[in-house]
Amino acid sequence: METDIKSAAFQKFVEATGSIMNPEVQAWKDQGRGVVGFFCSTVPEELFTAAGLLPFRMRGTGSTSTELSDAYFSPINCSFPRHTFNQALRGEYDFLDGLVCINSCDHVRRIYDNWIRALETPFVQVMSLPRKVGEPQIDWYYDELNILRGQLEEHFGVQLTDQRIGEAIALQNQVRGLQKQLYLLRKADKPPITGAETLAVMVAGTAMPKQRYKDLLRELLGELSEKRGSRDYRARLMILGGELDDPAYLEIIEKQGGLVVTDSSCFGSRLMWRPVDEAEPDPIRALARYYVRDRPSCPRMYGDQPQRIAFTREMAREFRVDGIIGERLLFCDQWVVENYMTDLDLKEDEIPFMALDREYVLSGEGQLRTRVQAFLETLEARGN
Amino acid sequence: MIVGGVDVGSATGKAVVMKDGEIIGSHMVGATTRPQETARLVMEAAIHQAGLSSIDHLDNIICTGYGRLKVPFAEENVSEISCHARGAHWLAPTTRTVVDIGGQDCKVISLSDKGTVLNFAMNDRCAAGTGRFFEAMARALCCGLEGISALENQGEEPCVISNQCSVFAESEVVTLVNEGTELPSIIAGINISVASRLNSMVRRVGLVEDLVLTGGCSKNEGLVRALAAKLDITIEKLPVDPQIAGAVGAALIAAEKAGARG
């Protein structure tokens, strides 16, 4: 990754983002400690932290083929689960002590079924996240979280007390707070960090021990508070979308001259824009409310589109965005309809919007460049 | 002022030379495997047609199209969306929607009354609705692209081609051929199938008349008729070959930029 950020902390983030196993995870394993993989930003990683485990968000980083996983999936399944499962079949996830899957979408939840047939990971669970965002659904997820709590206690031989869970929530909230500080630096006319660099920082947060990550992030923020962005750009962009963990995708956009200053994406602001309520005496209740209702939601949730577009508008205004790019993984039925609604809603605000389809592994760079260039030309023509 | 526009597309290269707001030369060639070579060949031919002896007579050149990053003699490149929009609006000033059907993609561009791009949609990672789609169908019908244009409009009842995926549509066409269906019926069905795809793209962007077609496939009259019927509008032809609209736009942008430089 091309960067003018010099800190060693940032280099560690880039390293963690660019691979699956990284030195921080290896060091953790070498201490004899466990790692639990999980899919989707709605899985409460605080429970793993409370159990003394390292939560690791599942990715297909480094994959170049789906030839092994296509025996289990079809070519019209989303490329994210296909590449990620292919990496698992190649042994890239053999370091996991456990895996928690979730019905975030029908493509991703099928990983559970395939995983338990094909792989030997000792602890594999699947959670059921409700589709609506009301009180009955919070109660449902509260039960799910308590079931997972019991499963973790039993398998890993730990006591998940309220106090431990509360401490894990506090730690994760501190991480969220620092990540938000990083985002707020990007409100500047010349942000000290690009969108691609920010994504590397965010992805790394799901792939290393939390306390270590927090310390490194604080170090990076110290450096960035002194740094003034030098990059010239043609427009300030926001990225809207789901599973995007590859900074190279944003680098292509930024090389065309569109600086990504904020996002609503599930390795981005939706992970951390709001904290979990630490005042709630029952920490499981606090987590259920947070993951079902209080965090910015994604289109898999029913009836919540008005809140989502409100969040998009709020971010676009706060970060003085010139245009929004909606990225969607091919065959994603959640995002295709959402993007159409977003396009119509943003017309009311006169915020230009462009929807882009992509594959999980970066391809079709020429088409991507053409679209981004045309979008930037359109934004410039508006400004003249 | 003399300027040039070159559009290095996936299937063909197009070049236009303009003098003081008038087209004085234009040319088209099939794409080679080297975009810089395609650009050189087509630009030289257009310059020759304009009665000029050398590229040095041009004050500015803008390039566009998929090969736009590889053209050494152009000072800048502009996306084909902006170029088709500019070209179509100059050729037909009442244009508010441009449908460009090229070799490997199709795009729908929405314009303001001044000709600036308001919004656009492109087909993504799919050959449906492109020249490649027609090439695949021509292969299945053993008739060549010219055959597709020549055989349409013979009054036959169109077949239904339900697949928009070029691979599966080709299988469907092969089935029809083997059932003994007449070629004009199949071709009419193919045109309707592509028009369906374009229809939804136009509706996604929002139809505002006048709508014009650019790109090589817009010379397929059966397709134009099928799309006009689906949208329930009249589609007027551009006053020049619609395939050079992008190169015209590039030349216009070249003139504007040279003018701004003074």
**Residues B5-20: pLDDT tens digits?**
999 998 899 999 999 9
Judgement on whether residues B100 and B195 belong to the same structural domain of the protein: yes
Identify the three-state secondary structure at position B193: helix
Tens of pLDDT, residues B143-178: 877 777 777 666 678 888 877 777 778 888 888 888
**What pLDDT, on a 0 to 100 scale, did the predictor assign at position B136?**
84
Judgement on whether residues B205 and B141 belong to the same structural domain of the protein: yes
CATH code of B207's domain: 3.30.420.40
Which of the 8 DSSP states describes residue A44? -
Q: How far apart are CA A184 and CA B148, in angstroms?
A: 58
Residue with tokens 């050729």: B91
Among chain A residues, CA nearest to B79: A374
Confidence of residue B124 (pLDDT cuts 50, 70, 90): low
Could you tell me which of B36, B25, B24, B28 has the C-alpha nearest to residue B12? B28
Judgement on whether residues B56 and B145 belong to the same structural domain of the protein: no
Size of interface A-B (CB pairs under 8 A): 49
pTM of the model: 0.90
The β-bridge relationship of strands B97-101 and B106-111 is antiparallel
**Single-letter amino acid code for the residue at A296:** P
Residue numbers of chain A with a pLDDT score lower than 50: none
Chain A residues near residue B78 by CB distance under 8 angstroms: 373, 377
**What pLDDT, on a 0 to 100 scale, did the predictor assign at position B10?**
87
**What pLDDT, on a 0 to 100 scale, did the predictor assign at position B103?**
84
The total domain count for chain B is 2
CB–CB of A253/A177 below 8 Å? no
Residue A303 CA, distance from chain mean position:
22
Hey, is the C-beta of A371 within 8 angstroms of any chain B C-beta?
Answer: yes
Peptide bond into A232 cis (omega under 30): no
Judgement on whether residues B85 and B122 belong to the same structural domain of the protein: no
Could you tell me which of A166, A254, A207, A268 has the C-alpha nearest to residue A59? A207
By percentage, how much of chain B surpasses pLDDT 70? 98
The tokens describing A380, both together, are: 């410039």
Question: DSSP labels for A100-158?
Answer: EEE-SSHHHHHHHHHHHHH---S-EEEE---SS-SHHHHHHHHHHHHHHHHHHHHHHT-
Residue B211 has pLDDT above 90, yes or no: yes
Among chain A residues, CA nearest to B83: A374
Please report the residues numbered 321 through 340 in chain A whose beta carbons come closer than 8 angstroms to any beta carbon of chain B. Answer: 330, 340
Judgement on whether residues B99 and B205 belong to the same structural domain of the protein: yes
CATH class of the domain at A22-158: alpha beta
Q: Which residues, listed in sequence order, are joined to residue B14 by a DSSP beta bridge? A: B7, B28
CB–CB of A84/A99 below 8 Å? no
Residue B235 has pLDDT above 90, yes or no: yes
Judgement on whether residues B26 and B117 belong to the same structural domain of the protein: no
Confidence of residue B188 (pLDDT cuts 50, 70, 90): confident
Does the distance separating the beta carbons of B82 and A378 come in below 8 Å?
yes
**What is the extent of the structural domain holding B99?**
94-237
Judgement on whether residues B232 and B174 belong to the same structural domain of the protein: yes
CB–CB of B220/B228 below 8 Å? no
Q: Which residue has the higher pLDDT, B99 or B181?
A: B99
Judgement on whether residues B146 and B189 belong to the same structural domain of the protein: yes
**What pLDDT, on a 0 to 100 scale, did the predictor assign at position B154?**
65
Read off the pLDDT of each residue in B226-253 and give the average, rounded to a whole number.
95
Of B66, B118, B120, nearest to A374 by CB-CB distance is B120
Tens of pLDDT, residues B34-91: 999 999 999 999 999 999 999 999 999 999 998 998 889 998 999 999 999 999 999 9
Mean per-residue pLDDT of chain B: 90
Confidence of residue B132 (pLDDT cuts 50, 70, 90): confident
ipTM tops 0.85 = no
Q: ∠ CA(B129), CA(B135), CA(B136), 5° rounding?
A: 85
**What pLDDT, on a 0 to 100 scale, did the predictor assign at position A9?**
96
Phi, psi (rounded to 5 degrees) for A274: -120, 150
Judgement on whether residues B114 and B185 belong to the same structural domain of the protein: yes
Judgement on whether residues B105 and B224 belong to the same structural domain of the protein: yes
Read off the pLDDT of each residue in B209-225 and give the average, rounded to a whole number.
92
Of B81, B120, B125, nearest to A357 by CB-CB distance is B125
**What pLDDT, on a 0 to 100 scale, did the predictor assign at position B43?**
96
Judgement on whether residues B229 and B102 belong to the same structural domain of the protein: yes
**What pLDDT, on a 0 to 100 scale, did the predictor assign at position A384?**
65
Q: Which residues, listed in sequence order, are joined to residue B122 by a DSSP beta bridge? A: B107
